[in-house]
Chain A
Amino acid sequence: MTEVTQNQAESHEPTGPSAATMAASAVGLTKVYGEGNTQVVALDHVDIGFEAGKLTAIMGPSGSGKSTLLHCMAGLDNVSEGEVHVGETKISTLSDKELTLLRRERMGFIFQAFNLVPTLTAEENILLPLLLGGREPDSEWKDRVVDTLALRDRLAHRPDELSGGQQQRVAVARALVTRPDIIFADEPTGNLDSISGQEVLGFLRRAVDDWHQTVVMVTHDPGAAGYADVVVFLRDGRQVGRLEEPTADLVLDRIRALEV
């Protein structure tokens, strides 16, 4: 697990990801915006897999397609070409309703900002995916999540009564409460001060280590990427590198190397 196979990573890892160990995967994933002269290829035949039980970071410069990749994997955006699987489910052919249920039941989401519904309390926000599905929360699990994220005394508060870090912790709790197959986090620390950011990253790390959750996180912060098991580098819509067991320094080095 600790092998750093830099060469392998740079050769684009042509082998298709095996679905068995992958929480989500894509083959030939292509996303094109616009038509004709104004056409922009955001993702260009990307083959990628996100291993179950790992924290994967997606990095790359602006316009590299890292957010688009996350959105396509999460079924929030439709793909132009290729196939996306979440677990065993091929999502590119699902209806809006099926996709919605998939997101509700098998995915968790953490966005950079505006993560919470302002009219709901922290507790209601945490339970929202369950409530939307009319499901009863597993209260033991919920309590564990809430306590781990130190949100016990904040449950009755509305988002505008919470600090930025607390809000983001509520979002993490919400993503965890359904015990999803995969959690997608889009720049989860982008709006936080460094201490709060580290807190949130620490919780994501614990979710993977202690609860065997799968997290895919888009970030531009090498420090954040340092929390990941695997870092995937994207540039111009292609995967251009892969780093296992990264540290912030290794990630920085790699970024410098890629940008040269």
Chain B
Amino acid sequence: MRSVFRLSLRNLASNRLRFALTAFSVLLGVSFVVASFVLTDGLLKTFDNIVEDANADIDAQVRAKSDFEEVAFEDRPIDQSLVEVVSAVDGVGEVSPGTESGKIVPVKANGDPVETAGAPILSFNWTGSSLSPLTLVVGEAPDGAGEFAIDESSADREDLVVGETYDIIGTEGREPFELVGLTRFGDENALAGAVLMSFTLDELQRIDGTEGLLQWINVSAAPDVEDAVLIERLEEALPEDIEAVKGDVIIEEDQDEFSTVVNIFGNILLAFALVAVFVSTFIISNTFNILLGQRVRQLALLRALGASAGQVRFSAVLEALIIGVVASVLGLGGGVLLAVGLRELMNVLGFSLPSIDIILSTRTIIVAALVGIGVTLGASLSPARRAASVPPVAAMRAGFRFGSGEGTRRTIIAIVLAVLGIAGMGYGLFGGSDDTALLLLALGLGAVLVFVAVSMFAPLFSSPSASFLGSPLEHVPRSKITGHMARENAARNNKRTASTAAGLMIGLALIAMASVVASSLKESFRAELGSTLVADYLITPATDGGQFSNQLAAEVAALPEFSEVSAVRYGAARIDGDEKGVVGTDFTVLTDLLDVDVLDGDPVASADPGFVLLTQEAADDNGVEVGDPLMVEFAATGSQILTVGAIYDNPFLIAHYLVDLSGWDANFDAQNDNVIAAKAASGVELADADAALTSLEDAFPQLEFDTRDEFREALEGELDSLLVIINVFLGLAIIIALLGITNTMALSVLERTQEIGLMRAIGMTRRQTRSLIRFEAAVVSLFGALLGVLVGLAFGWIAVIAIPESLIDRIAIPVGTLVFYVVLATIAGLIAASFPARRASRLNVLDAIAHM
């Protein structure tokens, strides 16, 4: 076996470049997988540490009892008078009352409000206590009215200078504050793009509109007092709806919150990584097959010299194993680098992530090895089996060719895989299981099987397709013959063309699917907006989830240019044990602003705290009709029996449950608005209405004042940005696919060395030689891209059917975009072939002709 091992090494060495390219495609896939783990582990660890450091000295926290999810970063408030109750408890050391607001926005010197890339802008009361994670690094702590501090990264990013005065927009409007100091959160101020401001407690409560209210009271235990004892005593002293929890609990809750977010992020990265790995599997398999074909003579000679079929097979598998090990090891390193790179990229994009510890967990290493070695070994099995089937006589006889695969058997397997794949996808999309992970797994595996099946079918039509797609090349001016030969070459080896194109097919299919879903979503949204949104104007916060003072709605309503105005508030309540989204709005104008399609009952008559409106779907769920009672449990007021005032059909832009603003006032703590919808008075031009809002726009720079069209464009813009991010990540799979094209073309050049030498001898210029290779790659790429778009259209169509009609009710095919992607992929394939094209054109003519 030692000799077999040596043979494998020799062979690897003599095909260095080929194997390097192969290993590189595996390496990229492994790196991506490793990076997603390293980044996730590192971020989790770092956030855990930050949370621990920040809360290390807190022995107990007093807060409102609530088993509701937090809404917009805020807990239910508690009364400030509890500070005295807590301080009076025996065994209490330091007491640090705290509140937090996400509704306060600083304005930069240039008059623009500070905006983030999605991270919150949070304000805290400055305590100076060791119980706070904030420390002062520059200047003074805020110590009176009109003073604030901000974290050092945000000051740096937004050019805020200590000693200068800036406007601060609170819920009551804007007023000037002096920036007196800069703070740091934890050791690094790694806030993932969030902005932290500090005020005195009184000032914060005032501008937040929460005078007399706190969100928590942090407590440290006096010396010699056990935490458990402290909690017990606190609980005794506190009213029923207030709880005292251990510091550990706070840490755990915060860590859970972070890890949920980080894990989602990590899983998304991992999903893209697996796509990349999948594509690289195709490339490796293809490379092995081509190399095998080129080594028939060598293999046959070995067999003739007495090597057993088993030894030949073993040597082929061994080569794969060596490549897999090398790629896995390098991929681990590459993954760490990629993780660091991704973190840097995120920082550049404005998510200041903490510097992460590089944690190479055992799991990461095992997965890297499994992926790298598994994928290469798996890809080598079939070529190895075929290698062992080379008869010794092939050494003596020219022209031995591997059969083009057992046609019928192959087709049957492909059909079985396709059926299984479609079944898997169908279950994933329509299965209706409550286990999301299971559904996603079925969906993913189904898609994988479909891709494999398509790639197995592809050789059946790859040659005629390539020939057809390449036919325009025959009209390339001055280079008809080069185009003709490129076309013939692309159609020459159906299997090779099919498997080379498969990588691009997968990448393009996913991109096309995303595009179809996105454009269907846009079209549906546009149509829905056109038919449902009656309001001319929408006022929304620039930062997602932002809230603003309920005064603004009154001010807009006071303008004569507007007839109907309603605030919209987003919250949650529990209905029949499940937490549901509840929206507060003004029932008297609801149907004037939004055509919700009332099926039964009268919203206007239900403008009273005792009513709830719900969609037909929600009514069916609860088995209620207009006039029936419905038990709704609010966080602030507990269970309330409301009457169903009306049933409507369309939950677009709102939720399945609606309460009147008066009902909101009665049952929710916070009385801030999320959205204002307004309709211009009849006879008022939109431009005049726009002008009337100018002064309010100045006063509330943190809000977007959008006409219906602007609102639609803004949302579509967000969707487009999301699509860009998805495509960037899928881009890695495309890059791997392109590497595959480079690899295949390099191998083809090698295989056709003599042919190229001959053509060069009889008068083909270097330039024509390059074109020949590039054109061929372009045809193969075009084939892969088109096949991908077809599969992607099918996937997109299935996805659109599976997505609830309330989101997508029609399919829209972004023809222009898809054509653009196909053209782009074709050009990319052309470029990917540059290196082999160059090699081909530089071949020494005589050596090439003499090449065997």
The answer on A and B forming one complex is yes
List the interface of chain A (C-beta within 8 A of B). Answer: 71, 74, 76-77, 96-97, 100-101, 103-105, 108-109, 111, 114-120, 124, 128-129, 131-134, 174
- Knowing A114-B754, A117-B755, say if A76 contacts B762 (CB, 8 Å): no
Judge whether B250 is part of the interface by a CB distance below 8 angstroms. Answer: no
Instruction: Collect the chain B residues with CB atoms within 8 Å of residue A74's CB.
Output: 761
* Cα(A101)–Cα(B761), bound, Å: 10
B761 touching A119 by the CB < 8 A rule? no
Q: Mark B741-765, 1 if CB is under 8 A from A, else 0.
A: 0000000000000110011111111
A118 touching B755, Cβ below 8 Å: yes
Q: Quick one: given A119-B489, A120-B485, are A132 and B763 in contact (CB under 8 Å)?
A: yes
Contact call B485/A76, Cβ cutoff below 8 A: no
**Chain A residues with CB below 8 A from B480, complex form:** 131, 134
* Residue B766 lies at the interface, judged by CB distance under 8 Å to chain A: yes
Q: A71-B846, A119-B489 are in contact. Are A129 and B755 (CB under 8 A)?
A: no
Q: Which of B734-793 contact A (CB under 8 A)?
A: 754-755, 758-768
A114 touches B758 (CB 8 A): yes
A116 CB contacts on chain B under 8 angstroms: 758
The complex places the Cα of A221 from the Cα of B610 at a distance, in Å, of 112
Q: Tell me the nearest residue of chain A to B479, going by C-beta.
A: A134
Chain B residues positioned under 8 Å from A71 (CB to CB): 846
Interchain CB contact under 8 A, A77 and B846 = yes
B481 at the interface (CB under 8 A from A): yes
Q: Assuming A76-B845, A103-B761, A131-B480, is B766 touching A119 (CB within 8 A)?
A: no
B838 close to A (CB within 8 Å): no
With an 8 A cutoff between CB atoms, is B488 at the interface?
yes
Q: Is the CB of B849 closer than 8 A to any CB of chain A?
A: yes
Which residues of the other chain, B, contact A114 by a CB distance below 8 angstroms?
754-755, 758, 849
Main secondary structure of the interface of B (DSSP, over half): helix
- Could you give 22 example pairs across A and B, Cβ below 8 Å? A76-B846, A100-B764, A100-B765, A103-B763, A104-B763, A105-B763, A109-B761, A109-B762, A114-B755, A114-B758, A114-B849, A116-B758, A117-B755, A119-B492, A120-B485, A120-B488, A132-B481, A132-B482, A132-B759, A132-B765, A133-B763, A134-B478
> Which residue of B479, B488, B759, B845 is within 8 Å of A128 (Cβ)?
B759
Which residues of A sit under 8 angstroms from B766, Cβ to Cβ?
A: 96-97, 100
CA gap between A13 and B429 in the complex, in Å: 89
Within 8 A of A (CB), among B814-852: 845-846, 849
Please tell me if the beta carbons of A117 and B492 are within 8 angstroms of each other in the complex. no
Interface residues of B (CB under 8 A from A): 478-482, 484-485, 488-489, 492, 754-755, 758-768, 845-846, 849
Bound-state Cα–Cα, A131 to B484, Å? 10
How far is B492's CA from A76's CA once the two chains are assembled, in angstroms? Answer: 29
Nearest A residue to B489 via CB reads: A119
Asked if A129 contacts B846 (CB within 8 A), the reply is no
Q: Are B765 and A76 in contact (CB-based, < 8 A)?
A: no
For B851, the closest partner residue in chain A by CB is A114
Known A131-B481, A134-B479, A134-B480: A117·B758 in contact at CB below 8 Å: yes
Nearest residue, chain A, Cβ from B488 = A119
CB neighbours of B754 from chain A (8 A): 114
**A-side contacts of B478, CB under 8 Å:** 134
- Which of the residues A77, A96, A120, A129 comes within 8 Å of B763, measured between beta carbons? A129
A101 touches B846 (CB 8 A): no
CB distance from A96 to the nearest CB of B (A): 6
Q: Determine how close the nearest CB of chain A comes to the CB of B298; give it in whole angstroms.
A: 20
Which of A76, A117, A174 has the most chain B CB atoms closer than 10 A to its own CB? Answer: A117
Q: How distant is the Cα of A120 from the Cα of B481 in the complex, in angstroms?
A: 10
Q: How far is the CA of A76 from the CA of B759 in the complex (A)?
A: 12
Closest chain A CB from B777 CB (angstroms): 16
- A61 to chain B minimum Cβ distance, whole angstroms, is 19
Point out the residues of chain A lying under 8 angstroms from B479, CB to CB: 134
Q: Are B768 and A132 in contact (CB under 8 A)?
A: yes
Q: A117-B758, A134-B478 are in contact. Are A101 and B765 (CB under 8 A)?
A: yes
Q: What separation, in Å, do the CA atoms of A74 and B754 have in the docked complex?
A: 18
Contacts of B845 in A (CB 8 A): 76
Checking B485, B488, B762, B846 against A103 with a beta-carbon cut-off of 8 angstroms, the contacting residue is B762
Q: A119-B492, A131-B480, A131-B481 in contact; A100/B846 too (CB < 8 A)? A: no
Shortest Cβ distance from residue B315 to the other chain A in the assembled complex, whole angstroms: 30
Q: Is the CB of B481 within 8 A of A100?
A: no
Residue of B nearest to A128 (CB): B762
In the complex, what distance in Å separates the CA atom of A163 from the CA atom of B808?
64
| Neighbouring A residues of B763 by C-beta, 8 Å | 100-101, 103-105, 128-129, 132-133
A101 to B764 alpha-carbon distance, docked (Å): 8
Residues of chain A contacted by B484 (CB below 8 angstroms)? 120, 124
Q: Is the CB of A111 within 8 A of B764?
A: no
Q: Is the CB of B755 within 8 A of A100?
A: no
Point out the residues of chain B lying under 8 angstroms from A174, CB to CB: 762
Q: Which residues of B contact A97 (CB under 8 A)?
A: 765-767
Shortest beta-carbon distance from B248 to chain A in Å:
74
Using CB atoms, name the residue of chain B closest to A121.
Answer: B488
Instruction: Point out the residue from A77, A105, A108, A117 that lies within 8 Å of B759, measured CB to CB.
Output: A117
Residues of chain A within 8 A (CB-CB) of B768 are 132
**In the complex the two chains form, what is the Cα distance from A97 to B841 in whole Å?**
11
Q: How far is the CA of A124 from the CA of B764 in the complex (A)?
A: 14
Chain B residue nearest to A116 (CB atoms) is B758
